[in-house]
Amino acid sequence: MKQVYVAPSLLAVNKNNFKSAIDQVIQLGVKYIHFDVMDEEFIGHTSFSFEDFKKVKPMHQVNNDVHLMVAKPYEYAKEYAKLGADIITIHYEALKDDSLRFDCLNAIKKLGVKVGISIKPKTPVEKVLPFLHIVDLVLVMSVEPGLGGQSFIPEALDKIRKCHEYIELNKLKTLIEVDGGINETTGPLCREAGVDVLVAGSYLFNHEDIKERYQKLVK
Ligand code: DX5
Ligand code: ZN
């Protein structure tokens, strides 16, 4: 089976403990830190701010994987690119047609960062396939975006499989990421389906032995 990476989600971490949480996962060899950004319009509440990102950024040297769950993604992307994001993922559902989606993704690429597109659980996977040749990453949401600690929605597996098939068939390099409810049971299922990056929040951090949990996800 191909290698799978874990992107620890800081949403599961108390802001006062960012440093020690990041130190621990960096020691384990993670290549991504997942940073969730939400706004009132798209989600109904907020999560992290630009100020939070400014604090987190100097705490590590790996990829800053910024997941924008906001209604006006380009406005946020501009700022996060300036602040040093490496990958910026927008939501398919945030924009109302494909022309706006292509324009937004291309504009974000011009900021000099990698770009991703994400679909919520109720969005059919076929909607996102036409974007896979221009993005670096496709993020399959396996819970409704907004909160950590929810249960994995199994339909995500079929979406991962379909993205994987499409990527292979078209010889693309697009990475597949999955976010929500990832644990020692759902992680391996996603891996079998062809995922590259597992976002993990509560499973990883709400346990005293992060190392043991990390190893269960990558083994
Ligand atoms: C939810 C966020 C996730 C969240 C996942 O909207 O996008 O990144 O932190 O949390 P867990 O791993 O606890 O489901
Ligand atoms: Zn996320």
CA of 9 to the centre of ligand 2 (A): 7
Q: Does ligand 1 lie within 6 Å of residue 204's CB atom?
A: no
- Residues 6 or more apart from 52 whose CB is under 8 A from it? 15, 35
In whole angstroms, give the CA distance from residue 124 to residue 141.
Answer: 11
Q: For the chain, which residues score pLDDT lower than 70?
A: none
Q: Which of 39, 65, 136, 179 is catalytic?
A: 179
Q: Does ligand 1 lie within 6 Å of residue 11's CB atom?
A: yes
**Catalytic residue at 86?**
no
Which helix (H) or strand (E) segment holds residue 105: the answer is helix 98-110
- The reported pTM is 0.98
Q: Please, which contacts does 167-170 make with residues 24 or more away whose CB atoms are closer than 8 Å? A: 167/132, 167/194, 170/132, 170/133
CA of 69 to the centre of ligand 2 (A): 8
Q: Does ligand 1 lie within 6 Å of residue 213's CB atom?
A: no
CA of 73 to the centre of ligand 2 (A): 14
**Catalytic residue at 136?**
no
Quote the pLDDT of residue 68. 99
How far from the centroid of its chain's Cα atoms is residue 22's Cα? Answer: 17
- Residues 6 or more apart from 209 whose CB is under 8 A from it? none
Quote the pLDDT of residue 152. 98
Output the CA torsion 129→10→85→30 (10° steps).
-80
Output the CA torsion 146→147→150→156 (10° steps).
30
Mapped onto helix, strand or coil, the DSSP state of residue 213 is helix
Q: Does ligand 1 lie within 6 Å of residue 217's CB atom?
A: no
- Give the ligand at the shortest distance from the Cα of 148: 1
In whole angstroms, give the CA distance from residue 157 to residue 188.
Answer: 11
- Quick one: which atom of ligand 1 is closest to the CA of 34? 8
Structure tokens at 150: 């929810």
Q: Does ligand 1 lie within 6 Å of residue 194's CB atom?
A: no
Task: List, for residues 80-118, the tens digit of each pLDDT value.
Answer: 999 999 999 999 999 999 999 999 999 999 999 999 999
- Quick one: which atom of ligand 1 is closest to the CA of 38? 6
Quote the pLDDT of residue 2. 75
Please tell me what DSSP assigns to residue 9.
Answer: B
Q: Does ligand 1 lie within 6 Å of residue 65's CB atom?
A: no
Question: What is the Cβ-side half-sphere exposure of residue 124, based on CA atoms within 13 angstroms?
Answer: 3
First to last CA, the chain: 10
